[in-house]
């Protein structure tokens, strides 16, 4: 029985939703060393430059920065190393087909503990062009402005 219950978010990649159009998300486990887990429990991680790739029928997470554990010694881990992802074989096949089809990449969206186990949410995503990013921002601002107008109209009682 796990000591912890629920989900405890460690880090999110907010930039990913701005730079990429998310197609589908997957939850994957992580193969970590002891000092990496302790560093994550302190809430320290950075996903901004991270990406995932498939090699030899296995999934890996690369360029995710988990800083060294402050109270570790010579057994401390490297901050940016390639970490293995734990996925089902069918999911790995789906991901490899999506990436090999072209234009898609695998990016980490969120790093969290789920019932005491370290998990990462990875997404199959397609990069947005500059005009698509501007259009997304414009749509969000228009929606926000319309909600404000509706709220002010409701307050006035018209």
Cα angle for residues 37, 40, 45 (degrees, 5° grid): 135
How far apart, in whole angstroms, are the C-alpha atoms of residue 15 and residue 18?
5
Residue 1: pLDDT band (50, 70, 90) is low
Instruction: Please give the pLDDT value at position 158.
Output: 59
In the structure encoding, which two tokens stand for residue 65, read together? 């920065």
Per cent of the chain over pLDDT 90 is 72
Residue 130: pLDDT band (50, 70, 90) is confident
Bridge partners of residue 53, in order along the sequence:
60
Q: Is the pLDDT of residue 3 over 80?
A: no
Mean pLDDT of the chain: 92
In the structure encoding, which two tokens stand for residue 99, read together? 């990436």
Instruction: Please give the pLDDT value at position 77.
Output: 83
């Amino acid at each position: 029985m796990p000591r912890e219950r629920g989900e405890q978010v460690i880090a999110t990649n907010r930039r990913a939703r701005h730079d990429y159009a998310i197609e589908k998300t997957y939850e994957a486990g992580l193969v970590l060393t002891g000092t990496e887990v302790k560093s994550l429990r302190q809430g320290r991680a950075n996903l901004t430059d991270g990406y995932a790739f498939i090699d030899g029928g296995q999934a890996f997470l690369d360029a995710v920065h988990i800083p060294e554990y402050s109270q570790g010694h010579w057994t401390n881990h490297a901050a940016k190393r390639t970490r293995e992802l734990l996925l089902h074989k069918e999911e790995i096949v789906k991901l490899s087909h999506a990436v090999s089809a072209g234009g898609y990449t695998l990016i980490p969206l969120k790093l969290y503990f789920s019932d005491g186990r370290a998990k990462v949410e990875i997404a199959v995503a397609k990069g947005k062009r500059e005009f698509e990013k501007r259009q997304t921002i414009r749509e969000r601002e228009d929606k926000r402005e319309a909600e404000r107008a509706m709220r002010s109209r409701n307050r006035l009682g018209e």
